[in-house]
């Protein structure tokens, strides 16, 4: 089975982890800050806070910007559930903004329309989370302009997008946001096995997230309520969580970061070959906005179902039966049973639902090259 995504681990990555295993620290040592620095240096951000998952990063990012009960968080319905769940973790209410039909990202026009209506109703969002689907940035300049007018905070969910660029700048530099969140799950651009990281240019947000990732505990005397009682002393000054990244994960991340540009360049090479090889098939290939250099985490195709003898589900299963580990990103969040219990229903966000009814993510990862023609051969066999 050829998977839709896969990590690429070399001997240097393995040695980096072995070095940590032979060191004095398996957690809370020098590798975590080294990984944070490698990411912030690459992105051009001032601060990085590494955690055990992008979900954890989204959670503490929301708390850091003050999201709580009575507030609203808006995000895209075309995403993994974590992009919305993080708002519920904070006691906020969640709503969605439908996607752009070309990019499959949160639509800035629809966002503006919804903001105008929400202002009249007194229900403006406290936080908007644009999701950079498949590695391509949302229209962040426009979203930022809207935030300046309507007063919401922006957390970029860039789980798919490390190594990508928007308007010539690396995603994660937070030029148009308060915080950006990355994921390092094995199918992402680089991996730390599991892990996430939040970048920001605001020291108060960085300090808050650092505190929240480790139980709300500090050893910083300037933040304590009374003088230290000894070298062992710490204080819990907030209600935090055990969201720390381990040294093993961070060491792997430092090693992987050295190949980030290579990983993304290879994905672009493979995507260009798909553009040529799939040209005659009854599909819509993913659109790339000229303002973007996508990290190309995914290669989602849309089936032209009126030109295919099989249904969406039948096509998906036929591809899997013929050795392609295709997937579907994503089931619109508002159609999930949990969210339907909150009042959402089918038909609320038609573009996301239309995309879902036709989408299939085909294999795209660093080590695919030798098997790409096999992927195309199966696609032709199933679709033609």
Average pLDDT over residues 135-148: 98
Average pLDDT over residues 190-211: 98
Has residue 213 got a pLDDT over 90? yes
Q: Residue 214, SS3?
A: strand
Strand partners, 156: 180
pLDDT of residue 384: 87
Has residue 223 got a pLDDT over 90? yes
Give dist(CA 150, CA 307) in Å, integer. Answer: 44
Give dist(CA 166, CA 288) in Å, integer. Answer: 12
Please classify residue 139 by burial: count the beta carbons closer than 10 Å to its beta carbon, then call 0-12 exposed, 13-18 middle and 19+ buried. Answer: buried
Give dist(CA 301, CA 376) in Å, integer. Answer: 13
Give dist(CA 191, CA 297) in Å, integer. Answer: 12
pLDDT of residue 84: 98
Average pLDDT over residues 44-59: 98
pLDDT of residue 355: 98
Find out whether 115 and 60 touch, Cβ atoms under 8 Å.
Answer: no
pTM: 0.97
Q: Are strands 179-183 and 47-51 parallel, antiparallel or unpaired?
A: unpaired
Average pLDDT over residues 217-229: 94
Residues of the chain with CATH 3.40.640.10: 2-257
Average pLDDT over residues 216-230: 95
Total residues belonging to the chain:
384
Q: Residue 67, SS3?
A: coil
Find out whether 238 and 100 touch, Cβ atoms under 8 Å.
Answer: no
Q: What percent of the chain has pLDDT over 90?
A: 99
Architecture of domain 2-257: 3-Layer(aba) Sandwich (3.40)
Class of domain 260-383: alpha beta
Average pLDDT over residues 278-307: 97
pLDDT of residue 344: 98
- Exposure of 203 in the CB half-sphere (CA atoms within 13 A): 0
Verify cis geometry, omega within 30 degrees of 0, for the bond prior to 330: yes
Has residue 49 got a pLDDT over 90? yes
Q: Residue 94, SS3?
A: strand
- For the record, the structure tokens of 33 come out as 């800050």
pLDDT of residue 345: 97
- Can you give the C-alpha Rg of the chain in angstroms? 21
Has residue 373 got a pLDDT over 90? yes
pLDDT of residue 119: 98
Residues of the chain with CATH 3.90.1150.10: 260-383
Measured CA to CA in angstroms, residue 151 lies from 32, 49, 115, 362 at distances of 34, 25, 10, 39
Give dist(CA 375, CA 305) in Å, integer. Answer: 20
Give dist(CA 148, CA 88) in Å, integer. Answer: 25
pLDDT of residue 55: 98
Other beta carbons within 10 Å of 317: 14
């Amino acid at each position: 089975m050829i998977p839709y995504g896969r990590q690429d681990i070399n001997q240097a990555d393995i040695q980096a982890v072995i070095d940590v295993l032979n060191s004095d620290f398996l957690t809370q040592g020098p590798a975590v800050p080294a990984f944070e620095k490698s990411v912030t240096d690459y992105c051009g951000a001032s601060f990085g806070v590494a955690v055990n998952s992008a979900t954890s990063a989204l959670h503490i990012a929301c708390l850091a910007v003050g999201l709580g009960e009575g507030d609203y968080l808006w995000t895209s319905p075309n995403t993994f559930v974590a992009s919305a769940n993080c708002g519920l973790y904070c006691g906020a209410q969640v709503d969605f903004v439908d996607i752009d039909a070309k990019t499959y990202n949160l639509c800035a026009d629809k966002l503006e329309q919804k903001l105008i209506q929400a202002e009249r109703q007194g229900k403006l969002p406290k936080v908007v989370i644009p999701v950079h689907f498949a590695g391509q940035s949302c229209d962040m300049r426009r979203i930022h302009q809207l935030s300046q007018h309507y007063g919401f905070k922006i957390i970029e969910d860039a789980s798919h997008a490390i190594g990508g660029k928007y308007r010539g700048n690396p995603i994660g530099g937070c030029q148009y946001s308060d915080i950006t969140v990355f994921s390092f799950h094995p199918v992402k651009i680089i991996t730390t096995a599991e892990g996430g990281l939040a970048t920001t240019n605001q020291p108060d947000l960085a300090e808050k997230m650092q505190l929240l990732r480790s139980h709300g505990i500090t050893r910083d005397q300037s933040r304590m309520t009374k003088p230290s009682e000894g070298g062992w002393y710490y204080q819990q000054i907030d209600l935090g969580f055990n969201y720390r990244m381990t040294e093993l994960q961070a060491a792997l991340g430092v090693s992987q970061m050295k190949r980030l540009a290579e990983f993304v360049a290879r994905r672009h090479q493979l995507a260009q070959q798909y553009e040529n090889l799939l040209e005659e098939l009854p599909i819509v290939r993913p659109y790339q906005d000229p303002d973007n250099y996508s990290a190309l985490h995914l290669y989602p195709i849309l089936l032209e179902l009126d030109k295919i003898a099989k249904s969406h589900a039948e096509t998906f299963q036929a591809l899997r039966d013929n050795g392609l580990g295709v997937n579907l990103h994503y089931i619109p969040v508002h159609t999930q049973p949990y969210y339907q219990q909150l009042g959402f229903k089918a038909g609320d966000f038609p573009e996301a639902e239309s995309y879902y009814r036709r989408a299939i993510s085909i294999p795209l990862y660093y080590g695919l090259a030798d098997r790409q023609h096999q992927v195309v051969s199966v696609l032709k066999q199933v679709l033609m």
